[in-house]
Chain A
Amino acid sequence: MIFNLGYLILVTALVLSVYGLIAGFWGGGRRNTRLIQSSYNATYGVAGLVTLASIILWYGLLTDQFQVVYVWNHSERALPTFYKFAAMWGGQDGSLLFWCLILTGYSVAVMIFFRHKQQQLMPYVSATMHGTVLFFLVLLVFAANPFRMVAFIPPDGQGLNPLLQNYWMVIHPVMLYLGYVGLAVPFAFAVGALLNGRVGADWGRIVRRWTLVPWMFLAAGILMGSQWAYMELGWGGYWAWDPVENASFLPWLTATAFLHSIIIQEQRGSLKAWNMIMVWMTYFLVILGTFTTRSGIIESVHSFARSDVGIYFLVFLVIVLFGYLILLLMRWSILRDEHQVDSLLSRESAFVANNWLFTGIAFATLWGTFFPLFSEIITRERISVAAPFFNKVNGPLFILLLVLMGIGPLMGWRRTTPAALRKQFTWPVTVTLLFAATFTFFSRQPYAIVGLAACVFVTATVVQEYVRGVIARRTTNNESPPVAMGNLLRRNGRRYGGYIVHIGIVLIGVAVVGNSFYQSTTSVTLDTGEGVTLSGYRLVYQGMEQRRQANLTEYAAILQVQAADAGTVFGSIAPRRNIYDKAPDMPTSEVGLRMTIFEDVYVVLNGWDQNGAQATFTIYVNPLTIWMWIGGVVLVLGTLVAIWPHPTGQRATAAVPTQAAGVPA
């Protein structure tokens, strides 16, 4: 009964968002403040209605209302409450409603924050946000109604997909949504600026903050997905260039390029056209990514949610593509550069190169992801494009990007003289060459050497930047080193926080190199008491254990981990197989993992027989993989430093000194 209410208020929300869209564009164009205010009220109204609908669905999930088809399909009585809550985004309809909820949340945040500022821009921003909300409401009302019911009340539900009953799989979609959805905000600002006919001096500053936050969430979400893949899927890796992995990665690439390029627009008034295109591409890729995950158009381990939403997405994508293109062409004249790039050896050039590299990687990834689809359409034969293609193409590009990450910050604005170059690059290059020379004694893998050398180079440049920054502050302000360091982070947070983010990326790069080039593996069947040796470890199989949980049975194989030479016992690890009551043919694998800062011992339980007297394992030793997760934390911390408001705070609308000095004629 209440669920009929849920559907009806979604219908009202849809009507209001149509109204808000029209009122925003029309009111903004005519400068009609009543219409504009009405459009803003529509934002709040739609947000309230969508929140109410979400609460109703959560109520259904948490109180086992199995007459609701969605609850029936994604929950069960025995499901822990935590997963009942998370079942909201466990399937198509609920996750679309969740998307909508977060989107309206962002809309409200934007409207409240800017309610007295940027008054020429905000009507268009409001209207564009309404447009996005409208699309998702259309999906919910016409193609993916989460409140569909059946006439009887089933005694129990089908349970949540076992792969999703894992802490990381709960938090990963939330982070991804916060990222994906948030990237609609910069797009709305871009549309607003173009419709307004001017890109103001502070546009870059506004948009950058509202891009950094979703970017951070998206990065965290991608890394959490990788962590889940590493710990659940049991193939020893964390990234397979799976189409849906790529779908989340693509907007992150263009958003990262945009974040860097917008700095140039703020400082020098250049690259406006680049930025408008990149913010458009980011939004387009967000919608495309959402589409790829849900339409089943590309076969993937993620395409668990197929339904008839595909055609709606296609239409919306076409509208976004061509609508914005027309707008861009109409307003091309306002995107002229205010300054040219003075010299090839300048920070501006480095940023342009940065744009090209990111675009190149995004294009290669897009190409590889959709090639099988197009090959099937054109030649009727599905040519698969898998990890080797992506690694071969993107690997070198990423190494180039790493090197650029070190070079760019050391360049001066406008131009860098040979003397300055010498001063900036001598130490980092020396350290890098020393490292590379030393490392060749340990390994002869060329890509690994180059990759790690690039990482060392970037680290050296960041260390040099911090040291020189602290020295500069000490010279000017007489600050002690800790105070100087703190002030660097507070007063120059964008730069020095950005360096911390770069270090995070470097750590991830180190983990990638370790895992890709130095992994060792073996597959073995062991009797109880029998052991196997791999990469300096000896693992001895002790036996099987069985344990009941609320809705599943855990089967764990206990292995003792010892040092291969000395026999020192490090501990034990227990790879598991979980057999779920409601899905006995979909057992999940829980990897047995022992992480240290040097390497992971990673064991997958493949099978067992004779009541556990014998078990089959695949064992990996993965060097340096923990640094990927540490790098992720560093990345988030760096972003927080970069976002933190500047202590002087006062900007264009601040008080200005009115001293007694007379005004010269």
Chain B
Amino acid sequence: MLWIPLAAALLISLGVIWYVIWPLVNGNPAPVLIEDDRLTELLTRKDAALQSIKELEFDYQVGKVAPEDYERFNQQLRRQAIGLLQQIEKIAPEVGQLDDAVEAEIARYRKVQPGLTPALAAATIAAPALPHNANGEITNGSVGSAHRFCTQCGQPIGADHKFCAHCGTPVAV
């Protein structure tokens, strides 16, 4: 009677093993590994910069940040966001512009501008012009992967550079 569980275990195991090795043996062309490309990284950093701007404004409104500090940091963050948008612009020209885009993005985050109803805000966010996969994610080719970016202007920094080649800000060690 011992052969019954053995046979059942064998059947189940073979089924699962077949499922596991199927990607190795099927005749379909191998799927392409979509690199976490530079564009996604830039977009994430741009999002983070805009989020920081929003938080800074809020902190200023509740009194945690002094006015002079608010001005200074606000300018820094906006320069950073603009720099990042410039980078994004270079890779995918259809995406984003500069100051106007920054303002629109901030408005989108805040959804506060008088007259800018949610419907209007949604309408200003036009359909993306970038190629998308089924999940709506941007799938652009890789444009090389620099690992570090200047935190002032958003330009990439070489691996062994001590200063940003674009704006001269020293690199934090």
Interface residues, chain A, with chain B CB atoms under 8 Å away: 1-2, 4-5, 8-9, 12, 16, 19-20, 31-38, 41-42, 44-45, 48-49, 52, 116-121, 197-198, 200-202, 266-267, 269, 334, 336-340, 410-417, 419-420, 423-424, 465, 468-469, 471-472, 475-477, 492, 648, 651-653, 655-659, 661-664
- The answer on a CB contact under 8 Å between B127 and A655 is yes
- The answer on a CB contact under 8 Å between A413 and B43 is no
Q: How distant is the Cα of A416 from the Cα of B58 in the complex, in angstroms?
A: 15
B144 CB within 8 Å of chain A: no
- The answer on a CB contact under 8 Å between A336 and B173 is yes
The interface bits of chain B over 1-35 (1 if a CB of A lies within 8 angstroms of the residue's CB, else 0) are 11011101100110011011111100000111111
- The answer on a CB contact under 8 Å between B23 and A48 is no
Chain B residues with a Cβ closer than 8 Å to the other chain, count: 79
Query: For residue A198, which residue of chain B has the nearest CB?
Result: B147
Within 8 A of A (CB), among B124-170: 124-129, 133-138, 145, 147, 151
Q: How distant is the Cα of A269 from the Cα of B52 in the complex, in angstroms?
A: 12
- The answer on a CB contact under 8 Å between A121 and B36 is yes
CB-defined contacts of B40 to chain A, threshold 8 Å: 652-653
- The answer on a CB contact under 8 Å between B112 and A648 is no
Choose one: A42, A413, A419, A424; the contact of B55 (CB below 8 Å).
Answer: A413
- The answer on a CB contact under 8 Å between A472 and B58 is yes
Q: How far is the CB of A217 from chain B (nearest CB, A)?
A: 28
- The answer on a CB contact under 8 Å between B44 and A657 is no
Q: A1-B4, A49-B16, A423-B63 are in contact. Are A338 and B32 (CB under 8 A)?
A: no
Query: For residue B136, which residue of chain A has the nearest CB?
Result: A653
Query: For residue B62, which residue of chain A has the nearest CB?
Result: A468
CB-defined contacts of B31 to chain A, threshold 8 Å: 33, 37
Q: A12-B9, A119-B34, A648-B108 are in contact. Are A37 and B43 (CB under 8 A)?
A: no
- The answer on a CB contact under 8 Å between B97 and A420 is no
CB-defined contacts of B43 to chain A, threshold 8 Å: 651-653, 656
- The answer on a CB contact under 8 Å between B12 and A52 is yes
Q: A469-B62, A648-B111 are in contact. Are A664 and B105 (CB under 8 A)?
A: no
Query: For residue A3, which residue of chain B has the nearest CB?
Result: B5
CB-defined contacts of B126 to chain A, threshold 8 Å: 655, 657-659
- The answer on a CB contact under 8 Å between A652 and B44 is yes
Q: How distant is the Cα of A34 from the Cα of B94 in the complex, in angstroms?
A: 34
- The answer on a CB contact under 8 Å between B36 and A412 is no
Query: For residue A416, which residue of chain B has the nearest CB?
Result: B64
- The answer on a CB contact under 8 Å between A661 and B21 is no
Residue pairs across A and B with CB atoms within 8 Å: the count is 203
CB-defined contacts of A414 to chain B, threshold 8 Å: 69, 73
- The answer on a CB contact under 8 Å between A413 and B59 is yes
Q: How distant is the Cα of A16 from the Cα of B138 in the complex, in angstroms?
A: 34
Within 8 A of A (CB), among B48-94: 48, 52, 55-56, 58-59, 61-66, 69, 73, 88-89, 93-94
- The answer on a CB contact under 8 Å between A33 and B32 is yes
Within 8 A of A (CB), among B93-135: 93-98, 100-101, 104-105, 108-112, 124-129, 133-135
Query: For residue A664, which residue of chain B has the nearest CB?
Result: B98
- The answer on a CB contact under 8 Å between B100 and A659 is yes
Q: Can you give 26 contacting A-B residue pairs, CB < 8 Å?
A: A8-B5, A8-B6, A16-B17, A41-B20, A41-B23, A45-B16, A45-B17, A45-B19, A116-B133, A116-B135, A120-B35, A197-B147, A201-B48, A267-B52, A334-B147, A339-B151, A340-B172, A420-B66, A424-B64, A465-B62, A648-B111, A656-B88, A657-B104, A657-B125, A659-B104, A662-B97
CB-defined contacts of A42 to chain B, threshold 8 Å: 20
Q: A37-B23, A38-B20, A663-B98 are in contact. Are A5 and B5 (CB under 8 A)?
A: yes
Q: How distant is the Cα of A653 from the Cα of B88 in the complex, in angstroms?
A: 12
CB-defined contacts of A337 to chain B, threshold 8 Å: 172
Q: How distant is the Cα of A656 from the Cα of B94 in the complex, in angstroms?
A: 9
CB-defined contacts of B62 to chain A, threshold 8 Å: 465, 468-469, 471-472
- The answer on a CB contact under 8 Å between A38 and B128 is no
CB-defined contacts of A2 to chain B, threshold 8 Å: 5
Q: How distant is the Cα of A266 from the Cα of B93 in the complex, in angstroms?
A: 27
Q: A8-B13, A9-B12 are in contact. Are A424 and B63 (CB under 8 A)?
A: yes
Q: How far is the CB of A3 from chain B (nearest CB, A)?
A: 8
Choose one: A202, A412, A657; the contact of B105 (CB below 8 Å).
Answer: A657
Q: How far is the CB of B157 from chain A (nearest CB, A)?
A: 11
Query: For residue A40, which residue of chain B has the nearest CB?
Result: B23
CB-defined contacts of A35 to chain B, threshold 8 Å: 23-24
Q: How distant is the Cα of A410 from the Cα of B93 in the complex, in angstroms?
A: 41
Q: How far is the CB of B97 from chain A (nearest CB, A)?
A: 5
Q: How distant is the Cα of A45 from the Cα of B12 in the complex, in angstroms?
A: 10
Query: For residue A49, which residue of chain B has the nearest CB?
Result: B16
Query: For residue B25, which residue of chain A has the nearest CB?
Result: A34
Q: How far is the CB of B152 from chain A (nearest CB, A)?
A: 11
- The answer on a CB contact under 8 Å between A653 and B125 is no
Q: How distant is the Cα of A200 from the Cα of B47 in the complex, in angstroms?
A: 13
- The answer on a CB contact under 8 Å between A653 and B34 is no
Q: How distant is the Cα of A662 from the Cα of B136 in the complex, in angstroms?
A: 26
Closest 4 CB pairs of A and B: A8-B9, A652-B43, A37-B23, A472-B61
- The answer on a CB contact under 8 Å between B108 and A41 is no
Q: How distant is the Cα of A652 from the Cα of B44 in the complex, in angstroms?
A: 5
Q: How far is the CB of A600 from chain B (nearest CB, A)?
A: 39
Query: For residue B28, which residue of chain A has the nearest CB?
Result: A34
Choose one: A9, A49, A269, A492; the contact of B58 (CB below 8 Å).
Answer: A492
Task: Output the residue of B61, B62, B112, B136 with the most chain A CB within 10 A.
Answer: B62
- The answer on a CB contact under 8 Å between B20 and A19 is yes
- The answer on a CB contact under 8 Å between B97 and A653 is no
Query: For residue A32, which residue of chain B has the nearest CB?
Result: B30
Q: A45-B19, A419-B66 are in contact. Are A38 and B5 (CB under 8 A)?
A: no
CB-defined contacts of B44 to chain A, threshold 8 Å: 200-202, 651-652
CB-defined contacts of B19 to chain A, threshold 8 Å: 41, 44-45
Q: How far is the CB of A338 from chain B (nearest CB, A)?
A: 6
CB-defined contacts of B58 to chain A, threshold 8 Å: 469, 472, 492
CB-defined contacts of A44 to chain B, threshold 8 Å: 19
Q: How far is the CB of B166 from chain A (nearest CB, A)?
A: 16
- The answer on a CB contact under 8 Å between B6 and A657 is no
Known interface pairs A337-B172, A659-B100; 7 further A-B residue pairs with C-beta atoms within 8 A, sorted by A's residue number: A118-B36, A197-B147, A412-B64, A412-B66, A656-B95, A657-B101, A658-B126
- The answer on a CB contact under 8 Å between B151 and A269 is yes
Q: How far is the CB of B109 from chain A (nearest CB, A)?
A: 6
- The answer on a CB contact under 8 Å between B12 and A49 is yes
Choose one: B32, B64, B73, B97; the contact of A411 (CB below 8 Å).
Answer: B64
Q: A34-B24, A41-B20 are in contact. Are A475 and B61 (CB under 8 A)?
A: yes
Task: Output the residue of A16, A201, A411, A413 with the most chain B CB within 10 A.
Answer: A201
Q: A41-B20, A657-B125 are in contact. Are A34 and B104 (CB under 8 A)?
A: no
CB-defined contacts of A12 to chain B, threshold 8 Å: 9, 12-13, 16-17
Query: For residue A42, which residue of chain B has the nearest CB?
Result: B20
